[in-house]
Amino acid sequence: MSTAVKKRRLSKRQKNILELTILYTIIGIMFVIILYPLLWAFGLSLNPGRGLYGAQMIPENWSLVHYEWLFFDPRSNYLTWYKNSLIVAVATSFFATFIVCLVAYAFSRYRFKGRKNGLYAFLLLQMFPVLMAMVALYILLATVNLLDSLIGLIIIYVGGAIPMNAFLVKGYFDTIPRELDESARIDGAGHFRVFFTIMLPLAKPILAVVALFNFMAPFMDFILPRIVLRSPENFTLALGLFNFVNDQFANNFTRFAAGAILIAVPIALVFLFLQRYLITGLTSGATKG
């Protein structure tokens, strides 16, 4: 083997090593950026004090007193807020996923007047933030007497989830061969049977993505519950925990950290349950027809 060929192979190998080094360095930096605040929040929740002053990421005299207060102290509404968040999250995830599937199936499999304009409307609605509609949503809920109600909050979440998710699921439905529908109809299946026995089982990956995203949203959102909810017994977790550091003379940063860490538990469980579908759903759903 000539010296020139050896040099080219060595140069290519060095280039690959350099590219891998840069890639892993970037991944490591991103990992630190994401992990560092999580470690601080967890460490802060183990500090026996209540304020940020003197708090340590790795406390010497760590304690679970804040977790005990959240669950067992009669002055704590944490379990009520947790229950409210779970109710809103589960209801939003279920109804949003089901309605989105019906809408996406109609746009994917049928041709009707206004279909193209409907798709354009979905695209247009995705361009505007929800904040623009807050005043209108407040007036609407006040008109139908659903202010300070979890039902009103669920309705807004479900309605807001339809445009973007319907467009995503429609793209996935478009990848399912129409021959399957035609074969089922030849065997006597109706529209709903085709939808429930063929389309939904084949669309499990994208449905898992939609369900997870809509389950996470109520746990993370603060602005909408702040506008809709008034009574402490109706607060969701984000709104309730905010009062730990916002009320007059409040300095409960360590309790806030403990409550915030526990928010990850149901989300992690749902993620682990649906993880086998998530990657397939995200990659396949990105193809829009």
Is 111 part of a structural domain of the chain?
A: yes
User: Which residue, of 38, 66, 94, is where some domain finishes?
Assistant: 66
Is 71 part of a structural domain of the chain?
A: no
For the chain, what percentages of helix, strand and coil (3-state, to nearest 5) are there? 80, 0, 20
The mean pLDDT of 72-78, rounded to a whole number, is 84
Residues 6+ apart with CB under 8 A from 137: 156, 224, 227, 228
Is 187 part of a structural domain of the chain?
A: yes
In the 8-state DSSP scheme, what is residue 141? Answer: H
Residue 212, pLDDT above cutoff 60: yes
Measured distance CA(240)–CA(7) in Å, rounded: 65
pLDDT score recorded for residue 193? 85
**Can you give the pTM of this predicted structure?**
0.82
Q: Are residues 138 and 45 in the same domain?
A: no
Q: Are residues 26 and 91 in the same domain?
A: no
pLDDT score recorded for residue 25? 92
User: Which residue, of 66, 86, 117, is where some domain finishes?
Assistant: 66
Measured distance CA(129)–CA(160) in Å, rounded: 10
Residue 22's domain comprises: 3-66
Is 147 part of a structural domain of the chain?
A: yes
CATH of the domain at 225: 1.10.3720.10
Q: Are residues 161 and 28 in the same domain?
A: no
Q: Mean pLDDT over all residues of the chain?
A: 82
Is 197 part of a structural domain of the chain?
A: yes
Measured distance CA(218)–CA(263) in Å, rounded: 11
Q: Are residues 62 and 82 in the same domain?
A: no
The mean pLDDT of 209-234, rounded to a whole number, is 89
The mean pLDDT of 153-174, rounded to a whole number, is 88
Is 30 part of a structural domain of the chain?
A: yes
Q: Are residues 269 and 143 in the same domain?
A: yes
DSSP 46-110: T-SSSSSTT--SS-TT---HHHHHHHH-TT--HHHHHHHHHHHHHHHHHHHHHHHHHHHHHHHH-
Measured distance CA(89)–CA(271) in Å, rounded: 14
- Burial of 59: CB neighbours in 10 Å, binned 0-12, 13-18, 19+: middle
Q: The tokens of 167 are what?
A: 């467009």
User: Which residue, of 66, 90, 111, is where some domain finishes?
Assistant: 66
Q: Are residues 129 and 243 in the same domain?
A: yes
Residue 104, pLDDT above cutoff 80: yes
The mean pLDDT of 59-84, rounded to a whole number, is 85
Q: Are residues 89 and 122 in the same domain?
A: yes
The mean pLDDT of 53-79, rounded to a whole number, is 80
For residue range 112-134, list pLDDT tens digits in order: 888 888 888 877 877 777 777 88
Q: Are residues 123 and 257 in the same domain?
A: yes
Q: Are residues 57 and 82 in the same domain?
A: no
Measured distance CA(169)–CA(193) in Å, rounded: 19
Q: Are residues 86 and 14 in the same domain?
A: no
Is 101 part of a structural domain of the chain?
A: yes
Measured distance CA(94)–CA(157) in Å, rounded: 11
Tally of domains in the chain: 2
Q: Are residues 83 and 103 in the same domain?
A: yes
Q: Are residues 151 and 255 in the same domain?
A: yes
